[in-house]
Amino acid sequence: MLTNTAFLICSLAFLSPAQLLGGTPRSGNDNGPKVDAFVRMLSTTDDTAWPEQAKELLALGEDVVPLLLVALCDERPLVNIRARKLLQELPATAKHHLREHYSSLRAFIRDLVAELIFKTYPHTVQGHLDALQDEIPAVRWCAARALAKAGPTTLRDVLRVMLEMPPDTTEAALRCLRHQNGTEGYLSELKRIGTTDEDAVVREMATLLADSYSDDSYDQFLSLLKHANPALRAFAASKLGTHAVLAPEGTIVPHLLHALGDNSLAVRRSAVRSLGVLGQAGVWKPDVIQALADVVRHDVDAQVAACEALERYGEAAAPAIPALILALKSEREQNRSAAAAVLGSIGEKASAAAPALGIALHDESPEVACFASLALYQMLT
């Protein structure tokens, strides 16, 4: 059976932000006693009593779903079978509610945990720079936001981070720069650094970044994509996503696809995320989906980013299913979770992955098991 941690993850995934922050339940009824009896009811061997008990559980609507998802991971076959049947019989309103809020609530939980971890760092510029090296991407994002809020005076420090820190940290620093985009003080500070800083490389970076923000066209970013400095190439790749949606066919996407083979991890990840923007905008290109599938298959360090990009394509990401099934066997927990999440977003078309997800239900990581159960549920609905 699953651990309490897995139960907590599944339960949190279906709570509203108000509930997570101590608000009232969605339903006006007090279902506490019924929920407490859930496991006992689901595992009953009294076949004559089960039909009535099943009706009681279904009457709980969306409130019973987290428990049913955990039950999918139970080692007892009877509990598995009954949980699956109940999920299929849930009212349409409960299914619609879950589909509507699934992604936003998952992001809410991720950000909430990241904020708590970030607060363990000193609340200083140096503390924020240290947090940019945290192993959790969402914590690095918190650090980038904090530096952005500190204003243009932190730009020199951020530029230094871009030059000296590992690729993941560079990504967070780039996000910080994007947060500061568009402010008059930000551009003025970039121009000042570009003319007065004692470090020639920092001066060049500042000047190029200032020029790129001053120019609304994508030509500047295409030029930066060829720059010798990987931090600037990653920055350019990250900016080209929104341009790719509106630009004429064949002007930007080929450059982003080429960037998937860059020797810098930061560049590859930035290119992957920009290609994901196309999916979110409903621009579904078979060659892009195939390229993202190839990243999942061959680039373990960019695998999570590629999964997150494919998730934006929904069922259109179906050609990536074979690569995602392989990713479910990754040695990295985060990669396995990301692959399961994409398979869930594909939905019924990903039914070929059901056996692999069934194995993932018993993953040693509660998070992976949870996402596998969520994916199987999404296939059912």
pLDDT in tens, 150-167: 777 788 888 887 777 666
Task: Answer with the one of 156, 180, 214 that is the final residue of a domain.
Answer: 214
Q: Where are the alpha helices (DSSP H) in 3-61?
A: 4-12, 17-20, 32-36, 38-42, 50-59
Q: Is residue 16 part of a domain?
A: yes
20-25: average pLDDT: 36
pLDDT at 261 (0 to 100): 96
Co-location of 125 and 44 in the same domain: no
What is the number of structural domains in the chain?
Answer: 2
- HSE-CB of 158 using CA atoms within 13 angstroms: 33
Co-location of 78 and 46 in the same domain: yes
pLDDT, tens digit, 9 for 90 and up, residues 32-63:
444 456 667 777 777 888 888 888 888 877 77
Retrieve residue 156's tokens.
Answer: 């020199």
Co-location of 91 and 151 in the same domain: no
Co-location of 58 and 142 in the same domain: no
Which domain range does residue 47 map to? 1-100
Co-location of 95 and 129 in the same domain: no
Q: Is residue 148 part of a domain?
A: yes
Q: Is residue 35 part of a domain?
A: yes
Q: Is residue 25 part of a domain?
A: yes
Task: Answer with the one of 214, 230, 246 that is the final residue of a domain.
Answer: 214
pLDDT at 97 (0 to 100): 57
> Whole-angstrom Cα distance, residue 330 to residue 328?
6
CA dihedral 243, 248, 251, 252 (to 10 degrees): 30
Q: Strand, coil or helix: what is 266?
A: helix
Co-location of 46 and 4 in the same domain: yes
Co-location of 193 and 159 in the same domain: yes
pLDDT at 357 (0 to 100): 93
Characterize 88-113 residue by residue with b for buried, 16 or more Cβ atoms within 10 angstroms of its Cβ, and e for exposed: eebeeebbebbeebbeebbebeeeee
7-13: average pLDDT: 46
Q: Is residue 188 part of a domain?
A: yes
**Which carries the bigger pLDDT value, residue 376 or residue 61?**
376
Co-location of 125 and 91 in the same domain: no
pLDDT at 274 (0 to 100): 92
Q: Is residue 236 part of a domain?
A: no
Co-location of 153 and 92 in the same domain: no
- Of the pLDDT bands very low, low, confident and very high (cuts 50, 70, 90), residue 210 is confident
pLDDT at 183 (0 to 100): 62
Q: Is residue 31 part of a domain?
A: yes
> Whole-angstrom Cα distance, residue 103 to residue 278?
18
Task: Answer with the one of 171, 197, 214 that is the final residue of a domain.
Answer: 214
Q: Is residue 256 part of a domain?
A: no
Residue with tokens 């059901």: 354
Co-location of 67 and 154 in the same domain: no
Q: Where are the alpha helices (DSSP H) in 119-166?
A: 125-131, 137-149, 155-164
Contact predicate 159/202, CB 8 Å: yes
